[in-house]
Amino acid sequence: MFAAFSSVNRTSVTEADAKIDGVKGRIYKFSEDIINRIYTPEESEEQNDFKSTKVLLGGYPVGLKLYADGVVVVDTESVDTENGDVDTAGNAGLQIGDVIKEINGIRVTTNKEVSQIMEQSNGVPLKLTVLRGKDVVYLDFTTAYSVSEGKYKAGIWIRDSSAGIGTVTFSMRDGYFAALGHAVCDIDTKQVIPISQGETTDVSIVEYVKGKSGCAGELCGYLESDKTGEVLFNGDLGVYGKFQAPRQTTVYEIASAKEIKVGEASIFTTIENGVIREYSISITSINEDAEDNKHLTIKITDDELINETGGIIQGMSGSPIVQNGKLVGAVTHVFLNDPTGGYGILAQTMLEKVNDISLN
């Protein structure tokens, strides 16, 4: 859903690398994966092999700093040469969203590394190893000499890191945690950010913008500078990692999919700094077999939350859903045409991912 992320490091390969450190003082806003269609669930078979687990409830924000596994191409531009503009990226077949993994067989992980190699190439073709979706592509790339800047340029904009805010769904006593319930995507390319590493920080929420039909609201906050844990996975099921010291919150048992019912429930979330609050919702449909992990359809029914935020706003993804005293899921998406409605992922599914990560 709303990946709670804004760019930290969108730079031209001819510019200095913008470091991700020292982000305190920067206000982050949240890009939104919004839904405009009506979701029709299907019946699913009950799962009888689920083993109940007790976890520490989330509902509080977490700062996330993600370092890409390679360098992401987020935009391209022509280079002004003495013979006219040259589309260096187009000539090489390089596309927006591609992840540059290696140049001439050497692994690259930062904007600065790519910038130096490109500028020092003197127009000699470079061999790029690129990840495009799930495919590895090999490209010959040639820079061009810019007459306005007096140096060789690649004509591409790249990003090696992103940062932003999400909501923790739950954590384990050993520190492993689950958050967001969906992948963090690059704010420009809208593609999942492949990460090599990442870290968590504490967050100070400073304000929120109320959502309305056709315009998603958002949380805004500051990432603190001190590291509180590691990010180990970013993918369709959410963001997962391990805290150095998990927050000691209320213990809840995770419900199996077959225990969830259409009807009243609650979400726990933070819209003002340091205050986790419970708000009433209704689970309107259940589809535990949904391939896109939109297992639950929910409706905000709490008048106070609707009056304050309009319903679900960007940055609330990962907010835990509780029903009958058990953790059943997490908020993941908001409907653009009706911010009181959205989707959720099963807590059971998130727990299975946590178990997979903790065993590796």
Q: For 356, what's the count of Cα atoms within 13 Å in the CB-facing half-sphere?
A: 11
Determine the distance from the C-alpha atom of residue 142 to the mean position of all C-alpha atoms in its chain, rounded to a whole number: 33
Contact 239, 184 (CB under 8 A): yes
pLDDT score at 50: 65
User: Is 80 one of the annotated active-site residues of the chain?
Assistant: no
Spatial separation of the C-alpha atoms in residues 293 and 257, rounded to whole Å:
13
CB-based contact 164:186 (threshold 8 Å): no
* Torsion on CA atoms 231, 69, 73, 143, rounded to nearest 10: 150
The predicted pLDDT at position 37 comes to 30
In the set 44, 285, 302, 358, the catalytic residue is 302
Query: For the residues of 85-143, what is the DSSP string, one character each?
Result: EE-HHHHHT--TT-EEEEETTEE--SHHHHHHHHHTTTT--EEEEEEETTEEEEEEE--
Element (H, E) at 84: strand 84-86
**Domain 5-67+161-359 belongs in CATH node 2.40.10.120:** yes
pLDDT of residue 172: 95
Q: What is the pLDDT of residue 194?
A: 87
| DSSP strand pairing (326-335 vs 251-254) | parallel
What per-residue confidence (pLDDT) applies to 15? 32
Q: State which residues of the chain have pLDDT below 70.
A: 1-50
> Do 69-160 and 5-67+161-359 fall under one CATH topology?
no
Burial class (CB in 10 A: 0-12, 13-18, 19+), 126: middle
Query: What is the pLDDT at residue 102?
Result: 96
Annotated catalytic residue, options 317, 319, 333, 338: 317
C-alpha to C-alpha distances, 112 to 20, 72, 73, 182, 266, nearest whole angstrom: 13, 13, 14, 30, 46
Distance in Å from the first CA to the final CA of the chain: 27
171 catalytic per annotation: no
- The pLDDT assigned to 6 comes to 40
Neighbours of 344 (CB within 10 A): 30
Instruction: Give the per-residue pLDDT at 145.
Output: 95
How many residues can be counted in the chain? 360
- How confident is the model over 140-179, as pLDDT tens digits? 999 999 999 999 999 999 999 888 899 999 999 999 999 9
Q: In the 8-state DSSP scheme, what is residue 321? A: E
Q: For 175-221, how does the pLDDT look when each residue is reduced to its tens digit (9 = 90+)?
A: 999 999 999 988 888 888 888 899 999 999 988 899 988 888 888 88
The CATH number of the domain covering residues in 69-160:
2.30.42.10
Q: Which of 6, 160, 182, 333 is catalytic?
A: 182
Domain boundaries along the sequence of the chain: 5-67+161-359, 69-160
78 a catalytic residue: no
What H or E segment, with its residue span, contains residue 323? strand 320-323
